[in-house]
Chain A
C-alpha cells in the first residue's frame, strides 16, 4: 500500500520535470494546443473526444511511470544484494516519520528536516541573490563594450572552471566564519553562468535593432531599456536558471564541509549516525527542491518573454 504511494510521490516529480521540458520548448505551441483543446471541448461529440483525451493522457503518462518503476526496481534489487542499503519501502516509512514533525528544534545539532531545508535555501538565496546583483550588470557591460569584453575574457576563462569548493578556504580565511564562507562559495559558483549568458545575449542583439537605435539617435539609457534589456532577457533568464541549479548543487557539498544547520550538514550528520534511510531521503529532497526552484524560474522566465 505505502509502496504505491511513494510511486505516486516520485511520479509527480517526473511529471513536473516533463512539464518544464515542454515549457522550455515553446510557449507558442502550448497556447496553440490549449486553444485547439478548448475548441474540441465545445463541439458536440464530447464523450468521444473525452475518451480520446484520456487515451492521450495515458499515452503521455506511461513512459515516465515506466521510468520511475524501473528506478524503484533497480533500487529494490540492489537493496536485496546489499543489506546495509534500505529498500524503497523502508525508506518510505522513515520519510513518513521524518515529515510528520519537520520543524522540531532540539538545539543546533538536532533540528527538524524542515529547518535544515530552510537554512540551505536561505544560504542559496543570499549567495545567488548577490551573484545576480553583481553578475547581471557585469554581463551587460561585457556584452555592450568590446573593451570590457576583452578585459574580462582572461579573468573569466581562468576562474570559471575552478571547482566551487576550491573557493571555500579563501572564504573561511577572509570571513573567518563558516556561514559566510558557504554563502561565498554559492556566490562565486553561481555568478559565472549569469555573467556569461547575459553577455552573450547582449552581444547577440541583431545589428538591425542597433541600426534602428542609431537612426533614432537613442540615448544609451534608452538603448538599454528598450533594446538591450528586452532582447537579452531570455538569455539572462537561462543564466539565472543555470546559476540556481549550480547553487543548489554546491550547497550540499559546502555545508558538508562547513557544518551548521542545513541539508548538506544533515546528510553528513546522518552518515555519522549511520542512518542511511535519511541520506536517501535527503537525496530525494535535494532533487525535488532543485526541480521546484528550476520550475519556478521557468515560470518567471515565461512571464517575462515577449514572444
Chain B
C-alpha cells in the first residue's frame, strides 16, 4: 500500500500540511475572520491535539482538513495532494449525533465500509464491519440501535465507523466531550491502544488538558478568536505506551500539563462570557 518512492518519503514529515490558511465566514452580521495565518505540518503517524478556548476555531481547523470547509485563503495538503473536499482517506469522528439512529451499529458501519470498499464481495464487507465492531469491543451490540446503547458505546460506533474506512488520517472532533469522566478515561485508553495498532495519523480537537497531554505527540495551542491562530506548539515526549496512573505522578507529564494550563489561563485567558 505504502509508496516508497522519494516524494512520498519526503512528504512523511509533512503528511498533512496547512499553509497560510485563512478562514472568513460570511454571516448576517458581516464578515467574521475565524482563522488567520495557520501553518502546521503533521508527520505521518503522529497524534496531534488542537486545544483552545471555545470559539477559537479549533473545530474549523478540523473541518478544513476534513474538506467540509474550504479555506478563504491558503492551501491544505494531505499526502502531497491538495484537499479539495471530503474523502474516505480522512475520516471523522464527530462529537455527537454521529451514528444514524435508525440504523443498527452494524448497519452504521456497513454504510461506510460499503462506500469505501464497494468493489469487494459482500462477505468481505461484512467481515470488515465485524472486525471494526470487535476492535472497539461492540460485538455484543451488533444489532442494537444507537438509542439502545450508552453514550460511550455510541462514540465507539463512531470510532469504529471512522476506522473501518482505513483512513490515512483520523480526525476527532471533541470525541469524548459529551461523555462522563469515567467513560471518557476508558475510551481514551482504548483509543491509545487502537491508534498504536493502526498507526494512522490523527488530529483531535479537545478542550480537555489531560486528554491532550495523555494522547498526543504534539499539542497545538490556539489563541482566542476572532482571527485565531496557532499560539504555541508543545512537544509531548512521553514514552508509549502511556499509563494514566503512572503518568499522574510523572514530573514531565505534570510539567507539560501546567504548560498547557498556563497557556490557556494566563497568556490567553478568555474573559468570562
A218 adjacent to chain B (CB < 8 Å): yes
Asked if residues A208 and B96 are in contact (CB atoms below 8 Å), the reply is yes
A203-255 at interface with B (beta carbon < 8 Å): 206, 208-209, 211-212, 214-218, 222, 226-227, 230-231
Known: A222-B111, A226-B103. 19 other contacts (CB 8 A): A206-B97, A208-B96, A208-B98, A211-B92, A212-B94, A214-B67, A214-B86, A215-B90, A215-B91, A215-B92, A216-B111, A216-B165, A217-B87, A217-B88, A218-B115, A226-B100, A230-B100, A230-B102, A307-B101
Residues A209 and B92 in contact in the complex (CB < 8 Å), given A215-B66, A217-B87: no
B237 adjacent to chain A (CB < 8 Å): no
User: Do most interface residues of chain A lie in helix, strand or loop, or is the interface mixed?
Assistant: helix
B147 adjacent to chain A (CB < 8 Å): yes
Asked if residues A307 and B86 are in contact (CB atoms below 8 Å), the reply is no
Asked if residues A217 and B96 are in contact (CB atoms below 8 Å), the reply is no
A-B residue pairs, 9 tightest by C-beta: A306-B102, A208-B97, A230-B102, A214-B86, A215-B86, A215-B92, A216-B115, A216-B112, A206-B97
Residues of chain B contacted by A214 (CB below 8 angstroms):
67-68, 85-86
In Å, the complex CA distance between A208 and B147 comes to 16
In Å, the complex CA distance between A231 and B165 comes to 24
Q: Mark B51-74, 1 if CB is under 8 A from A, else 0.
A: 000000000000000111000000
B145 adjacent to chain A (CB < 8 Å): yes
In Å, the complex CA distance between A212 and B86 comes to 10
In Å, the complex CA distance between A306 and B108 comes to 14
* A307, closest chain B residue (CB): B147
A: which residues have CB within 8 A of B? 206, 208-209, 211-212, 214-218, 222, 226-227, 230-231, 306-307
The one of B68, B101, B103 in contact with A215, judged by C-beta atoms closer than 8 angstroms, is B68
Nearest chain B CB to A58 CB, angstrom units:
35
Nearest chain A CB to B78 CB, angstrom units:
14
A-B contact pairs, 23 of them (CB 8 A): A206-B97, A208-B97, A208-B98, A209-B97, A211-B92, A212-B98, A214-B67, A214-B68, A214-B85, A215-B66, A215-B86, A215-B90, A215-B91, A215-B92, A216-B111, A217-B88, A217-B115, A218-B115, A226-B111, A230-B100, A306-B101, A306-B145, A307-B147
Interface range on chain B: under 10, 10 to 19, 20 to 34, or 35 or more?
A: 20 to 34
In Å, the complex CA distance between A215 and B108 comes to 13
Nearest chain A CB to B169 CB, angstrom units:
12
B: which residues have CB within 8 A of A? 66-68, 85-88, 90-92, 94, 96-98, 100-103, 111-112, 115-116, 145, 147, 165
In Å, the complex CA distance between A218 and B101 comes to 17
Residues of chain B contacted by A206 (CB below 8 angstroms):
97
Asked if residues B103 and A208 are in contact (CB atoms below 8 Å), the reply is no
Nearest chain A CB to B103 CB, angstrom units:
7
Nearest chain A CB to B214 CB, angstrom units:
26
In Å, the complex CA distance between A215 and B90 comes to 8
In Å, the complex CA distance between A218 and B100 comes to 14
Nearest chain B CB to A222 CB, angstrom units:
7
In Å, the complex CA distance between A245 and B111 comes to 38
Asked if residues A211 and B94 are in contact (CB atoms below 8 Å), the reply is yes
In Å, the complex CA distance between A206 and B91 comes to 19
Residues A216 and B88 in contact in the complex (CB < 8 Å), given A211-B68, A222-B111, A226-B103: yes
* B87, closest chain A residue (CB): A217
In Å, the complex CA distance between A231 and B90 comes to 26
Asked if residues B68 and A212 are in contact (CB atoms below 8 Å), the reply is no
Asked if residues A217 and B100 are in contact (CB atoms below 8 Å), the reply is no
Residues of chain A contacted by B85 (CB below 8 angstroms):
214
* B85, closest chain A residue (CB): A214
In Å, the complex CA distance between A206 and B99 comes to 12
Residues of chain A contacted by B100 (CB below 8 angstroms):
209, 212, 226-227, 230
Residues of chain B contacted by A212 (CB below 8 angstroms):
94, 98, 100
* A226, closest chain B residue (CB): B111
Nearest chain B CB to A261 CB, angstrom units:
43
The one of B94, B102, B111 in contact with A208, judged by C-beta atoms closer than 8 angstroms, is B94
Nearest chain B CB to A269 CB, angstrom units:
49
* B66, closest chain A residue (CB): A215
Residues of chain B contacted by A227 (CB below 8 angstroms):
100
Residues of chain A contacted by B101 (CB below 8 angstroms):
306-307
Nearest chain B CB to A230 CB, angstrom units:
4
Nearest chain B CB to A298 CB, angstrom units:
19
In Å, the complex CA distance between A218 and B165 comes to 13
Nearest chain A CB to B178 CB, angstrom units:
12
Nearest chain B CB to A63 CB, angstrom units:
33
In Å, the complex CA distance between A288 and B93 comes to 51
In Å, the complex CA distance between A208 and B178 comes to 15
* B90, closest chain A residue (CB): A215
Residues of chain B contacted by A307 (CB below 8 angstroms):
101, 147
